[in-house]
């Protein structure tokens, strides 16, 4: 079990498993007949997954335009609250196919809000790709189109995901188990 910043981290999904799954997801995405695809990465947690998935999409023959949106529903804690756009995209989405990329689909509030926002702005289609799907925590009526892994009911870190701004840099997804 790796020790990071004095904490034991149990590896849930290894870097190699994530890389393999990203390639598989990219092939599944490429099989869709997207027109004028705009990929929107939801910051902050998705930045590593989005980068790897977008590169894998390129290798699969898709060259989408890429944007970033900063959505917050957490405030200072970890309990989902009011969803807010902290930094919006620059592109017009009218008539475009959109692929939202996020790190984890848990309550669904953030992704439902973002999907509905893009549709209200005239997007023709909005699909969702997530690294992790934590179905048992779903509150909003939303399902992802592309899922890396089903996630057990644990708080996870790494591969872009954090706790108190720590552990984003880890090349794997893990569970903080306590002091080393």
Q: Let me know if domain 3-74+81-174 sits in CATH 3.40.50.2020.
A: yes
Task: Calculate mean pLDDT across residues 154-163.
Answer: 95
In which band, very low, low, confident or very high, does the pLDDT at 72 lie, cut at 50, 70 and 90?
confident
CB 112 within 8 A of CB 144: no
Is the model's pLDDT at 81 over the cut of 70?
no
pLDDT at 74 over 80: no
Domain coordinates in residue numbering, the chain: 3-74+81-174
Residues with Cβ within 8 Å of 128's Cβ and at least 6 positions away in sequence, in order, are: 99, 100, 102, 105, 111, 115, 142, 143, 144, 145, 146
Answer yes or no: are the C-beta atoms of 97 and 37 closer than 8 Å: yes
The structure tokens 């620059």 sit at 90
């Amino acid at each position: 079990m790796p020790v990071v910043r004095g904490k034991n981290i149990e590896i849930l999904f290894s870097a190699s498993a994530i890389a393999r799954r990203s390639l598989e997801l990219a092939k599944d995405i490429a099989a869709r007949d997207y027109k004028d695809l705009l990929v929107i990465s939801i910051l902050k947690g998705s930045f590593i997954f989005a980068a790897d998935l977008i590169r894998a999409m390129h290798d699969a023959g898709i060259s989408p335009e890429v944007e970033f949106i900063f959505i917050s529903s957490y405030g200072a804690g970890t309990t989902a609250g009011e969803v807010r756009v902290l930094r919006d995209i620059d592109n017009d989405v009218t008539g475009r196919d959109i692929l939202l990329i996020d790190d984890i689909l848990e309550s669904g509030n953030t992704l439902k809000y973002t999907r509905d926002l893009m549709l209200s702005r005239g997007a023709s289609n909005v699909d969702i790709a997530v690294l992790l799907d934590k179905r048992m925590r779903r509150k909003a009526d939303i399902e992802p189109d592309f899922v890396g892994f089903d996630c057990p009911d644990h708080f996870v870190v790494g591969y872009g995901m954090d706790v108190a701004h720590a552990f984003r840099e880890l090349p794997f997804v893990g569970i903080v188990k306590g002091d080393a």
